[in-house]
Structure 1
């Protein structure tokens, strides 16, 4: 449970950093590329054994890391596009509701337990995620422009599901840091390629503040993934339960941070969402 709590803590910390990006006019793409390089460095420095680049390429999980690295960058762009076209609330709801995908596959791929208490807790948790995340009454109204929210929903769910699959079948416990470092390194490569293509159209300085922002982002981002993987490796802790608790925990903690640090106002729906989230967490935990 400590690994899950730490994953929630570091993931919620990313909320503060992304919020400050807007305040200090940070170029998100540049900062995220630096963030991946920092996370890559931390992953390799914290490795439990010596290794070579050639050895990494020969690992059974390498191809999966390439897919996940590409998905990391792709989902980021879809998230940004969803925020621009549909609004931040829609992006938030679509991303967080995607937890239903790894929960579904956890039950069917790994024969995880299914009880009425657990199903009820997960459903309540999903409703809570929606209510706690929504900031207005216009979320998902109308049928236009639903492409990007749909892609974000599928992409976010795919990352969690595939991460669980790779971790379960190919990643040894002593190789978690090497795997995560490789994952971030591949994401950095894709990000650098995108930056290079953008610079062809319009060259501009990288900016010291973007580098600093990337470093600040990279450390908690690395540990959020590390602790999530470690939590997934704990025996007896089902992924359907873990992803539900992790996602709902991030929503609750991020909401509290928003209220305390950024003076964000909670609507009646947000408050109801937090109450239901706590109820959902209790039900899912007892069911497991």
Structure 2
């Protein structure tokens, strides 16, 4: 259930981003406000008593600060990748980064993968690629192809770090507080970025940006919070959780694009969706299938 909720909230983020373009919301400003909204939701959702002065003493505190900085950096790299190479390239780079936490789980946590699970992960990578393909081609400077590589590495490091802190540095009762600190850090770094940018371009408060930030902040918080809860599940290892999470987000957000925005899919896109379903079955139920066979 936690994994399903993480997938739903993460897919909702893509829908909100799509609405930003239609409603002329300035994404960078809405993103920065969204981090403070997500932080506020985390503090309100936190059921355990806490003292602000004690938070810097937590073993995960400086990690949450670093993750917040990564959130802002990767967001800007994703934006640059989308503008230079297209949204589909940014999406592929982000979701294919699941290979980094999967390999980390295998080598660092000694997680065992069955043959069907390995096949499922390979299918997942092809599924993400095929689902994100677009018919038109673009011309761009050679240096721009460094951008998706950086997005790939950064997104993978974020997912791996979330798993690491969940596993090593925090009890379940601190999930909400950790998530709030990550978002607060991202928001603060975002304000510094805007402050630097406003030297040449004066900042103006826009009601659309405020509403967009609020609408984005709530699902953004719960997408991380429920992912942390899903990683705690003893039934699946982290490789299974990250694979299912990333592939299902691509698949579900693509289907939402068809239903809500009448997006057109190619034959390759539909083949990718079918491959995504098969990869999820293999990764989620590979062990049971092997026992049955």
Common topology (TM > 0.5): yes
Query: What's the offset of the Cα at 1:47?
Result: 1.1
Q: Find out whether 1:222 has 2:226 as its counterpart.
A: no
More displaced stretch, 10-19 vs 229-238:
229-238
Distance (Å, rounded) in 2 between the aligned partners of 1:150 and 1:75: 11
Distance 2:254 2:72 in 1: 25
For the aligned residue pairs, the C-alpha RMSD in angstroms reads 1.5
Q: 2: CA distance between counterparts of 1:88 and 1:41? A: 30
**d(CA) in 2 for partners of 1:144, 1:204:** 31
Aligned residue in 2 for 1:58: 57
How do 1:153-168 and structure 2 match up within 5 A?
Answer: 153-168=152-167
> Which stretches in structure 2 are left out of the alignment for 5+ residues?
288-293
The aligned residue for residue 3 of structure 2 is 4
What SS does structure 1 have at the residue aligned with 2:280? helix
Q: Is the 8 A contact 2:251 2:273 kept in 1?
A: yes
Shift in Å at residue 92 of structure 1? Answer: 1.2
Aligned partners of 2:97 and 2:156 also within 8 Å:
yes
2:130 is matched with 131
**Stretches (4+) displaced over 6 A:** 139-142
Q: 1:11 to 1:140 in 2, by over 3 A?
A: farther
For 1:204 and 1:73, the matched residues in 2 are separated by 18
Q: How far does residue 137 in structure 1 lie from its aligned partner after superposition?
A: 6.0
TM-score (norm 2): 0.95
Deviations 1:225-284 (A, max 9, x none): 110011011223200000000011101110110001000001001000011111111111
User: What is the TM-score of this pair, normalised by structure 1?
Assistant: 0.96
Structure 2 CA distance, aligned partners of 1:245 and 1:204?
A: 40
Other-structure match for 1:247 = 246
Aligned to 1:284: 283
Partner of 2:75: 76
Asked if structure 2 preserves the Cα contact closer than 8 Å seen for 1:69 and 1:186, the reply is yes
Gap change, CA 1:74 and 1:142, over 3 Å in 2: closer
Which residue does 2:291 correspond to in 1? none
Paired residues, number: 287
SS in 1 for 2:65: helix
